[in-house]
Amino acid sequence: MSDSFNYWINGEIRSSQSPLTLVDVLVSEGYLDENPVGDEQAAGESQTQATGRFQAQATGRFIVALNQSIVAAADWAASVVKPDSKIDVVGAITGG
C-alpha cells in the first residue's frame, strides 16, 4: 500500500492513498461524470476522456491547470497528480 499524499485543488487541500490522474480528481470533484462504455466506443468530444472501460464527460466548460500549466483535455488521463501538486479548474462565464 502506498503512503498518503496531499494535493491542492482550487486552493483546498485534499489527501489520497493511491496514485491519481487529473481524470480521477476531476471525477471525484464532480467536474466530470464517469459512465461505462463499450470497447468499441471512443471518446469523441473535446472534453471527453477514455479511461480504461469508462468515458468521463465534462459537466461544463472549463480549463484545468496543473502546477500553473494548462493541460489539454486530451492529456488529462495521462497527467499524474503528484504530492503537493496544485490543480486549478477555471470555468467559463457567459454574459455581457
Mean pLDDT of 32-60: 53
- Superfamily of structural domain 5-91: Beta-grasp domain (3.10.20.30)
**What is the model's pLDDT at position 4?**
93
pTM: 0.73
Question: Sorting pLDDT into bands at 50, 70 and 90, what band is 58?
Answer: low
SS3 assignment, position 78: helix
**What is the model's pLDDT at position 26?**
93
* Cβ(77)–Cβ(52) below 8 Å: no
Q: What is the pLDDT of residues 27-37, one digit of tens each?
A: 999 888 876 55
E runs forming strands in the chain:
5-9, 12-16, 20-21, 32-36, 48-51, 54-58, 62-66, 69-71, 80-81, 86-91
User: Domain residues of the chain, as ranges?
Assistant: 5-91
Residues 6+ apart with CB under 8 A from 31: 58, 59, 60, 62, 89
